[in-house]
Structure 1
Amino acid sequence: IKEMNRLGILVDVSHLSDPGFWDVVELSTQPIIASHSNSRAVCNHRRNLTDDQIKALAKNGGVMGMNFAAAFVKEDGKPKLDDLLNHIDHIVELVGPEHVGLGSDFDGIGAAPEELTDASTMPLITDGLCKRGYSDEHIRLILGGNYFRVFKEVWG
């Protein structure tokens, strides 16, 4: 991890075990990402992050990208867009909008929220965030601004 930080390699914790996550947080001096992970408090999937992990990632300056994989969004495996937006709401309430992004994983999943069939349906997320009262600035952060901040910090 220290060598990755030195070389400007962005560390992604999405496929790590819980102990592995904590090892990275302890060692990394650069922001880390969970490129495609959701909230375990909203959907109890072992690859989703706990609230304590989300807080640690935020304290590190990192970003977590919402995974659209059905089993990561809703435990019954039949999510709708609102279920994905519930993850965003939870994380924003926990650590603020500066630590949330999108990490659809469209190329690696079999099923996504019903309305999100492919990349052409992504504007539905923007619409949903607007309907939930998110400001334009917060929506810009969630739709890519947070990742740009981390990329600039890690890559210079």
Structure 2
Amino acid sequence: MKAIIICESVSHGNTLKVANAIAEVIGANVVKPAEFDAGTACDYDLIGLGSGIYYGKHHKSLMELAEKLPNCRKSVFIFSTSGKGAISQHRHLSDIISRKGYRNAGEFTCKGWDTWGPLKYIGGINRGLPNDAMIERAREFARGLKA
């Protein structure tokens, strides 16, 4: 299976930790959206799209890349880290990949240290997350992608 993970991890490296754990299990490289040629998406059997969540959506660079992906019937999984840790925050990205003809292979999220906006004034929330147990959950999710 040829796989790639496209990840934008900006603030504290939370999402990159998750991306690397998944990549280790499925044998994928991790690249930033700016490093990925959207025209090559159909060359992959499985594509991972992930970032932190900003104002209820994935990072702008990832959303813009998703809009550029060619229509093809490949599998995509979505992941994120955020202060909330809610799958419902994947809706915007999920809608784009569905419209492009991709099959949603699964979604993973977990809480991460969040110092966005006014949270920075109180030291943020979820300090120390994702922790080892959450990273192991990401690996378990990845094992399911290989099945």
Q: Please classify the TM superposition score into its range, dividing by the shorter chain length.
A: 0.3 to 0.5
Structure (1/2) with the larger helix percentage = 1
TM-score, structure 2 as length reference: 0.43
Structure (1/2) with the larger strand percentage = 2
